[in-house]
A and B are shown apart, each in its own frame.
Chain A
Amino acid sequence: MIASDRKGDKPFIKLFRSPRNYYFYDVNKNSVVHIPERIYKYLDDHITYEELWDEEKTYVAELKTKGYLSSNKINTLSYCTREYLDYLLSNCIEHITLQITQACNLCCSYCPYADSDNPLQRHHENKNMSWKVAKDSIDFLLNHSSDSKEVTISFYGGEPTLAFALMKQIVEYSKPLFVGKILKFAITTNATTFTEEMMQFMAENQMNVLISLDGPEKVHDKNRRFKNGKGSFQITYNNLKRLVTYYDPDKFVPISINMVLDPRDDIQEIETLLSDPIFDRVMVSTSLIDDTLIQKKNEVSDAFAAKMQYKEFLGFINELNLAKNKTQTSPIVSPYINSIKDMYKSFKKEALSLPETGTPGGPCVPGQHRLFVSTDGTFYPCERVSEKSEAMKIGSIFTGFNYDKAEALLNISQLTDKKCKNCWALIYCNLCAKYADDNGVLSGEYKSKFCKNSCDDAESKIYDCIMMKESQTVYGKGMTQECIVF
């Protein structure tokens, strides 16, 4: 329970404790405040206001004068006006992802498209995007990106290099159209079909190439195999190394790998891949197997969790420079460490109060930041949603945007209105429309199943921020009783 002031308005806060200190996270101010123990107990309803000492009452009053401990909450959950959404989708599209083929030459075990019995997602088919749909998609991007300085055209599949001729045609058609804008190309690929011509083409067009490479051979080949059961590591790895040689060594090389982490694997074994010097030039990103659209859910072993936490620990040691450069932040945990740094940085920005109208942090503007076009020209908010879901279809090349559906995906918090308004972690919510999609229908009940994970994630990150702060203050220089605000 959280203490109320004399008017009975409960402060909109979340309490935190570390081994030596006490804090509250103020939702309105988006900051973590270090407080004395007795104030913590008062906020936790173990001491009444009347039991506080005079100087403690003054302290609470000062916090309130500065805007802390407010009970203010968002009144209306809405991302923005409909007029503004119309403007964004008509003028500010930044990125279009073209599903140029649904065919793939691999049959990865965790791929939602690979299982023909998977009811949650469409499956691999020998279906290619037609030139008309591709051309119309590029024209659509041209007519809907007038206020975007930079646009990106991405190629997706299946395996997009299986439709290389179409990819070339799209690139050559696009280049003269987007003179006067920064035009970038990108591809997500398994890199098993690369030819000299393809690699030359990618390098000439400075294409951002994202290659799926899960770890060393034993780890990668466990899940990523050809249809005949043979592992794909050797071909993928060799093609990655060849591709790098086509790019100008004096410039930034826009090639990266995505390692999909199987929680049954040994992290240390996965990391052995990254000792290759090629990863000084090639960026690494990681993600756990996304089990949202597959039937077999992840089982995270204790050993995996323990080793991940240890990697995170080493990452923090490195960030705080406590081991004098004797440790490094593993690329496997870099995204998490960076998210902590971003959160820490956000605490330093002055937030006055929650707005009258606002929204939790989760969803992007569907179609604006990223527009996914399937082979038949249907629009989706991104490539990570179910293509079988009617709720996720936000229009098509032939009909344009369905603004009502786009608005519904943007404002999924309205499905869980009361819950979201009262949630202390709303600013750090990571739930997008995908998590509200219950077999093609947007459902608040379904979305609620993911809320706890989102809150736990935010809580864990705030604890890590506290740990980072205390490493520099409490354990470094000694503790003070002053109100330390992040």
Chain B
Amino acid sequence: MHSILIYPYSDMFFQVLDNLTEKFQNIYLCKPYSWKCYRTIDKVGCFIASDFFECFGLCQQIIIADVIDRNIIYEDIKKKIEIALDNDKKIYCCFKLKSEDIELFVNKGKERFVYLANDRYCVELDIQPSLFYSNAIVVGIGNLLTGQDQSVIAVNIAHDMASKGYSVLHISSNINTVFGGAIKFPTYIFENICHDVDKIYLFNKFIEQVEMEHRPDVIILEIPYGMLKYSNSLHNGFGIVPFLISQAISFDYFVLNSPLSIGNAAFYETMSSGFLGRFGCNIDLVSIENVQMDPISEEREELHLFHTDSIDVNNYIDFLLSSYWDNLEKTIEYCPFDLCEFSASDSIISKLSSNVDSM
């Protein structure tokens, strides 16, 4: 078994580590000095480091991981890929690069440069488009606020369902999850300058294409950006992309990934009713992520989230459960974001069973 270096390591890569620990003896997780990781690494064979060149000599293979703010670290990544290729390393690149840089590195490294951040499924609009209806159970996972990470939930549910023998297709915005078998979310469709109606048909075509190829029992779909506008100061993406997605595909089960301290149970139950009107589905499960909105976000008109301890997550869930007053009907489950599979899987399996019966 070999060693591998992952750079720049961040919490966005955490959920994929299990897929690598079986294949590699030593995994060096190299994060920039100025970054902080909140997920504790307790896996055997994984080592946290900050000095890229110290780990460089120990590994023949390097994963260039995807991150949230690519622009900030782009030039550094470019330099490190160049140095790695000059030193005969094999690069697996999940980091989204400009096309001219991809070409440069492919020419330089040949088969030693493997670019994983491309879109494998390119779809075009039919002359007379019509909507495809999925045969699989579709699990939608959306974030209340832009900047939250729903890939943890998605990977855990996908893993749990697969371990129970179901065929799972995971579609993710977090490119690092390709190491867990996920398919990259086709952001190119929504960045396209075309009519919004066309985007709906294109995304639906994408779902049709991947379903035809993979024939999954369950599709786990991560929905990018925030689900709704938060306020007049924080537009949170206005919920445009989630709305377009909801018109392209129906959700059989929906998980809302929420930060702490947003509201009480009535808030989420009311939101669930609103979701039915807007997205065509209720909220089945609210997962509480260990992040909280910085109060100064409204004043600065810029959303900023900060991390809290897991005990705060449990306390908030207790508060939510205790805030079902005045005979408010409980239709939603709540759980910590990193334990969602235990709440979600049974519900998804029961929907699968009913699906089979109806056939």
The interface of chain A, by Cβ under 8 A from chain B, is 80, 84, 87, 91-92, 142, 145-147, 149, 151, 176-182, 349-350
Contact = CB atoms under 8 A, between A and B. Distances in A.
B35 interface: yes
Given A80-B295, A349-B233, A179 B306 contact: no
A155 B307 CA distance: 31
B295 A179 contact: no
B295 A84 contact: yes
A396 B214 CA distance: 60
A145 B69 contact: no
A180 B306 contact: no
A13 to B, nearest CB: 23
B163 interface: no
A402 B164 CA distance: 54
Given A87-B306, A349-B232, A350-B232, A146 B72 contact: no
26 contacts: A84-B295, A87-B306, A92-B306, A142-B33, A145-B34, A146-B35, A147-B36, A147-B304, A147-B307, A149-B72, A177-B33, A178-B33, A178-B34, A179-B34, A179-B73, A180-B8, A180-B31, A180-B32, A180-B33, A180-B35, A180-B73, A180-B76, A181-B32, A181-B72, A182-B72, A349-B233
Contacts of B295: 80, 84
Contacts of A146: 34-36
A179 B34 CA distance: 7
Contacts of B76: 179-180
Contact of B34 (A92, A142, A350): A142
Classify chain B: how many residues form its interface, as a range: 10 to 19
Contacts of A182: 72
Interface in B219-234: 232-233
Contacts of B36: 91, 146-147
Interface in B305-324: 306-307
Contacts of B307: 147
Contacts of B69: 149
Smallest CB-CB A-B distances: 9 pairs = A180-B32, A146-B36, A179-B32, A181-B34, A178-B34, A177-B33, A179-B76, A180-B73, A180-B35
Contacts of A349: 232-233
A151 B32 CA distance: 15
B13 to A, nearest CB: 14
Interface in B71-118: 72-73, 76
A482 B186 CA distance: 51
Contacts of B304: 147
Interface in B122-147: none
B33 A91 contact: no
Contacts of B233: 349
A6 to B, nearest CB: 31
Contacts of B31: 180
B34 A177 contact: yes
A110 B295 CA distance: 39
A312 B76 CA distance: 47
A429 to B, nearest CB: 15
A180 B34 contact: yes
Contacts of A181: 32, 34, 72
B18 to A, nearest CB: 25
Interface in B12-43: 31-36
Nearest to A91: B306
Contacts of A149: 69, 72
A182 B74 CA distance: 11
Contacts of A151: 34
A193 to B, nearest CB: 32
A452 to B, nearest CB: 26
A469 B274 CA distance: 38
Nearest to A182: B72
Contacts of B34: 142, 145-146, 151, 177-181
B165 to A, nearest CB: 41
A160 B295 CA distance: 36
A176 B76 CA distance: 10
A91 B307 CA distance: 10
A142 B76 CA distance: 18
A149 B31 CA distance: 15
A142 B307 CA distance: 17
A146 B307 CA distance: 11
Nearest to B307: A147
Contacts of A177: 33-34
Nearest to A181: B34
A57 B246 CA distance: 49
Contact of B33 (A87, A92, A179, A350): A179
Contacts of A147: 36, 304, 306-307
Interface in B227-282: 232-233
Given A151-B34, A178-B34, A181-B34, 10 more contacts: A87-B306, A91-B36, A142-B34, A149-B72, A177-B33, A178-B33, A179-B33, A180-B35, A181-B72, A349-B232
Nearest to B36: A146
A199 B110 CA distance: 43
B77 to A, nearest CB: 10
Contacts of A92: 306
B233 to A, nearest CB: 7
Nearest to A87: B306
Which of A145, A147, A151 is packed against the most chain B CB atoms within 10 Å?
A: A147
